[in-house]
Amino acid sequence: MLSIIRNIVFLFASLTFISCEKEVFVGPAIETLYGTLNVLEPFSNNKPVGVDFSVNDTVKFECLFSITNDYQIDIIGRNSGAKFTTNGSNIDLSDSYWLGNSEGIFFKKSEWCDITLSFTGNDTLISDSILILGERDFSDLGILLTSFEDPSEYSIVTSSNNDLFEVNNSNSTIEGDNSLNTLGTGSAAWFGAVRFSFNSNTITETDPNNIFFNGFFNSQYLGSAFVIKVFEDENANGIYDSGIDEAYALKVGLTTNSQWNKYSSSFGSFVIDQSGNNVLIDGVLNPQNIIRIDITNSQSGTANGQFGYIADYFLISYNQPL
């Protein structure tokens, strides 16, 4: 009896010392909760002599932290005031890059940008800078209607109510050297338009909800607005026939803060235009049938006053706004 018990105890004791073991620790990694943030490798980027976004350069950031941390990189153009922000959570910046895009107005060519790296819940702030050698070409996002550098891309339709509707050279542009400058006086609904004409099937995206008009406007006149109007060629005769083809429009009120603001509107929000001789045919906006786009200088209501804006860089983008 004793020998049996002895053997059992021995076997049991042997098992005891190896039992209950697990290979990996339990709970979340403690350094993610209580590690001290230290910057182990300095903050830098891979374009020390400048980045040329016009040839599709990409800025990659480098920095190594002691722990995984939530971080934010802010880039601000010193001249344009353009901003770009990217966030992440990692032990380094291998997930972060910059393609030259911005949250509002564009970064400028030959512009120095300040870059700051900050961390959630930590006062650490690290700075760097970068020179933009060339601006990014966003036309690959869809159709660049114009940046007002090439007069062949647009035409201007004036109204008896517009005091000013012209493209001119300016220091304050979004892209290039030119911008559209408009001003109208009175109580009319529109004060001139800039027109873009092209063949049907130029817009290849079929779902209006996935097509966005993007444009930059700068206005100081209270009540100013622009109307974007698209014209279909439903009978495929190459021209818009009022009363036969359909037109769709959207009026957008402008923020009159005398600063550049970006506006993006989905074609899916456009409504049938039945002003003048325009009629409702099928009530369906078919993007492939669009052969003309007009951007007017307008006003939000019917007040008597001065309305206008400076505008630049009109782009049709697919799937997401600029």
Partner 1 sequence: MRLLLLTISIFTTYLTYGQFPKFHVGGLARSLSTSAHLDKEDTINNDISQDFNIVFDLAIKGELNKHVNLYSELRLGSNLEVFDTSSSYLNLRRLLIFGDLNDYISFEIGDIDLKMTPFTLWNSNEEGEVNENSIFSNYRDIQRYENFNNDNHWRRQGMTVFGNKSVSKNDTISYKFFGTREFASNGISNPDIYIFGGDVNYDFKNFYSGINYIDLFSNNKGISLDTNFHNHVVSSKSALKIKNLEFSSEFGLSKLSNSSTILNNKWIDGEFVSLGFKANFSKNLFISLNYRSVSDDFSSPGAQTKRINYSRSPNLFPQVSNSLNNREVSLNEIITDINFIRSQSFYNRTIDYSLDKFNPIFGVSEPYGLATPNRRGFSSKIQFNDTSKTIYLYGKCAVLSDLIGEGVDQKRKYLSFSVASDVYINKILNFNKTILLKSGYHYSNSKRKHSPEIFVDDVDFNNSILDIGIEMEAIKNFYLIFGYKSINASGIDYLSVRNDDFIISSFDKLQLDINQKISSFGLKYNFNKKSSLLLNYQEMKFSNNLLDSNFKINQFFILVQIRF
**Binding footprint of partner 1 on the chain (CB under 8 A):** 1, 5, 9, 12-13, 15-17, 19-22, 24-31, 33-38, 66-67
Q: Is 86 exposed, middle or buried (CB count within 10 Å of its CB: 0-12, 13-18, 19+)? A: middle
Query: For residues 67 and 230, what is the distance between their CA atoms, to the nearest angstrom?
Result: 53
Bridge partners, 86 (sequence order) = 73
Residue closer to partner 1, measured from CB, 26 or 280 = 26
Residue closer to partner 1, measured from CB, 34 or 171 = 34
CB of residue 128 vs partner 1: minimum separation in angstroms?
A: 23
Q: Which two tokens stand for residue 311?
A: 């505008």
Residue 7 identity (one-letter amino acid): N
Q: Residue 285 in contact with residue 230, Cβ under 8 Å?
A: yes
Q: Which two tokens stand for residue 265?
A: 């509107």
Q: Residue 96 in contact with residue 73, Cβ under 8 Å?
A: yes
CB of residue 266 vs partner 1: minimum separation in angstroms?
A: 38
The number of CA neighbours under 13 Å toward the Cβ of 248 is: 21
Residue closer to partner 1, measured from CB, 18 or 280 = 18
DSSP 268: G
Residue closer to partner 1, measured from CB, 7 or 204 = 7
CB of residue 44 vs partner 1: minimum separation in angstroms?
A: 21
Residue closer to partner 1, measured from CB, 30 or 284 = 30
Query: For residues 203 and 197, what is the distance between their CA atoms, to the nearest angstrom?
Result: 12
Residue closer to partner 1, measured from CB, 19 or 304 = 19
Query: For residues 206 and 210, what is the distance between their CA atoms, to the nearest angstrom?
Result: 8
Q: Residue 322 in contact with residue 264, Cβ under 8 Å?
A: yes
CB of residue 24 vs partner 1: minimum separation in angstroms?
A: 8
CB of residue 8 vs partner 1: minimum separation in angstroms?
A: 9
CB of residue 68 vs partner 1: minimum separation in angstroms?
A: 10
CB of residue 63 vs partner 1: minimum separation in angstroms?
A: 15
Residue closer to partner 1, measured from CB, 7 or 257 = 7
Sign, CA torsion 151/172/47/123: negative
Three-state DSSP state, 20: coil
The 3-state secondary structure of 66-123, one letter per residue: EEEEEEEEEEEECCCCCEEEEEEEEEECCCCEECCCCCCCCCCCCEEEEEEEEECCEE
Residue closer to partner 1, measured from CB, 39 or 131 = 39
CB of residue 16 vs partner 1: minimum separation in angstroms?
A: 4
Query: For residues 154 and 138, what is the distance between their CA atoms, to the nearest angstrom?
Result: 18
